[in-house]
Amino acid sequence: MFFVHSARPVLASGENLITNPDLEITDNTGLPQDWIKGRWGTNTTVFEYPVLGVNSSKAARVSISSYSSGDAKWKFADLAVTPGHEYQFSDFYTSDISSYITIQFKKSDGTFSYKDIGHPGPARDFQKFTATFIVPANTETLSIFHLLNAVGTLTTDEFELKDITALPPPPPDSNNLISNPSFEYSNGAGTSPVKWSKGNWGSNTSTFIFPISGYQSSNAAEIQMNAYSSGDAKWYFDEVPVNPGEAYSFSDFYKSNTKTYITVRFKQTDGTFKFLDIGTVEASTDWQTFSNTFTVAANTVSLTIFHLLKNNGTLAVDAYSLKKIESDPSKFSTGMVSIHFDDGWRSAYENAVPILNAQGFKSTNFIVSGRLNPNYPGYIQSPELLALQAQGHEIGAHTRTHPDLTTLSTSQMQNEIVGSRNDLTDIGITPVNFFAYPYGAYNTQTKSVVQNAGFSAARSSDGGYNLKTQDLSALRRQSMTSNTTFAQAKNYIDTAMNDKTWVILLFHEVNYTGNQYSVSPELFQEIVDYLASKDITPVTLGQGVALMQ
């Protein structure tokens, strides 16, 4: 036999097994429903019901005025129990003498055994008695007697019997960054959870309560708020160190009778705080879970999260979890979009580049250097190319004459690849770090020549999205042609952003010819407007390559 504090960290599995435990229900004979008068031996005993209770109008009393043997008690009807399980019993009582608490176990063969679990002294005001015990083998049912066996008076109320057999503990979650996330550890007095703080400001009356019965555990924490006119109140966990840009998932369990709010508090390097609202949840009488993900704000050193009350009402919280979302190493920290123009079409320079410039967006332009002369009026010329560079757009090489490189000898390849680079640097384009294969055609040999020429990356015409691990000599693209719709372009962008990959949108002509590799200025404008509306700033090839592995 031993006595327990209410904060003992057991995993309570049970509801109160006693029916009519507070004796509030009276049956049609005027007795408390499911309760029985018990007496034996030589004594003069009076049973009284109802008398005033602990927190209620009804309790039961037994008074012995003369005594030589036996005992007297109110007892609850036998309850089925499970041998080997641990139970917790409690009640409230007042008495002018010492009383006894004894369990009567009924065995499967119909016999009884008894176990004394307490001998509390007199109590003028209602006192709580609590004990735990394990049900012996072969027991089918039990009752518990809070009894008198001497001259005196005993009043009892608010009985409770629960199966507290420890459930298998949840596997320790080493990824949860919150200390004491389920409030199971309290200070020595059992009155406050370790690693948690109470927060309250504004004009309101807030009461912090600990412990209360938890979600799948013995302890949780509660706040009650009255007289609210401003501010809020919350329990919050000790600061967790984090780094800007990291992604986290947060969850907790709650019960409340009013709307409540979840806010991340980021502690900044200068000691000030930034706040991010991540949720609002409606009242729930049963334990409910809330979860959301968020990204750590710039200049943050640590964070905590408030599940807060800012209305009159009650909020219980439990089972917090904060986990870092480990990123896929092949994914970028954010999705990326690039805009490429191939060949140096004048229509792109005249119709599309001004749309980009209006947004401050930069493009990457792969130039066929042999067309930088007046014999090719459909293409921009050197002064315009230099102006494009001066506006911050990126220039790459795309051979001298736009051949299919895979059909050439090595020396012809070198002439086209190295030669185009020299042509561009000769007119003042610098740096020329990137190359695009005409028709997207490449093989091992062309890749090798491009690499040896000192280009740090090359773009193919293979369709798709780039991961961090994509071959730098064969970056993928999505081709924008006369058949491309805005919905298709939007899908390319959304896919890259959602999947944290990098999509290169490849344009050629931007005009109304309807040529196969032409898109309309309207469609181009629509795509740029969409990027701007999503706060997506296109990256140049250099910016994208710098983020690859």
Residues in contact with Zn ion by the rule CB under 5 A: 342-343, 438
| Smallest gap from residue 508 Cβ to Zn ion (A) | 7
Joined together, the tokens standing for residue 547 give 């983020």
183, 210 Cβ separation under 8 angstroms? yes
Query: Which of 396, 438 has the CB closer to Zn ion?
Result: 438
* Six-digit token string for 75: 């007892």
**Going by C-beta distance under 8 Å and a sequence separation of 6 or more, which residues neighbour residue 144?**
75, 76, 89, 101, 102, 103, 104, 117, 159, 161
The residue nearest Zn ion at its CB is 342
Burial 478-514 (b: 16+ CB within 10 A, else e): bbbeeebeeeebeebbeebbeebbbbbbbbbbbbeee
C-beta of 367 vs 493, nearer to Zn ion: 367
CA distance 501 to 330: 9
Shortest approach of Zn ion to residue 460 CB, angstroms?
A: 12
How distant is the alpha carbon of residue 260 from its chain centre? 16
Nearer to Zn ion, 47 or 517 (CB): 517
Distance in Å, CB of 497 to Zn ion, minimum: 27
Q: Which residues pair with 506 in a beta bridge?
A: 340, 479
Do 192 and 221 touch, CB atoms closer than 8 A?
A: no
Closest to Zn ion by CB, 334 vs 401, is: 401
What residue has token string 């199971």? 184
Least gap, CB of 399 to Zn ion (angstroms): 8
Least gap, CB of 378 to Zn ion (angstroms): 13
Measured in degrees and rounded to the nearest 5, phi and psi for residue 193 equal -75, 140
Give min distance, CB of 171 to Zn ion, in A: 57
Dist. CA 25–CA 425, nearest whole Å: 96
Tell me how many degrees the CA angle 255-261-262 measures, rounded to the nearest 5: 100
Cβ 450 to Zn ion, closest distance in Å?
15
Confirm if 465 and 544 have CB atoms less than 8 A apart: no
> Shortest Cβ distance from residue 326 to Zn ion (Å)?
40
Residue 431, preceding bond cis, omega within 30 degrees?
yes
Q: Are 65 and 37 in contact (CB under 8 A)?
A: no
Whichever of 193 and 438 has its CB closer to Zn ion, that residue is 438
CB of 368: closest distance to Zn ion in angstroms?
A: 7
Residue type, 511: N
Query: Two tokens at 389?
Result: 């560079």
Residue 123 or residue 372: which is nearer to Zn ion going by CB? 372
Ordered DSSP codes for 400-462: SS---GGGS-HHHHHHHHHHHHHHHHHTT-----EEE-GGG---HHHHHHHHHTT-SEEEEEE
CB of 350 to Zn ion, least distance (A): 18
Q: Which is nearer to Zn ion, 192 or 420 (CB)?
A: 420
Backbone angles phi, psi at 324, to 5 degrees: -75, 135
User: From the CB of 404, what's the least distance to Zn ion, in Å?
Assistant: 11
Residue 176 Cα to chain centre, angstroms:
11
Rank residues 126 and 437 by Cβ distance to Zn ion and give the closer one.
437
Q: 184 or 343: whose CB is closer to Zn ion?
A: 343
User: Is 121 in contact with 98 (CB distance < 8 Å)?
Assistant: yes
Which CB atom, from 232 or from 342, has the smaller least distance to Zn ion? 342
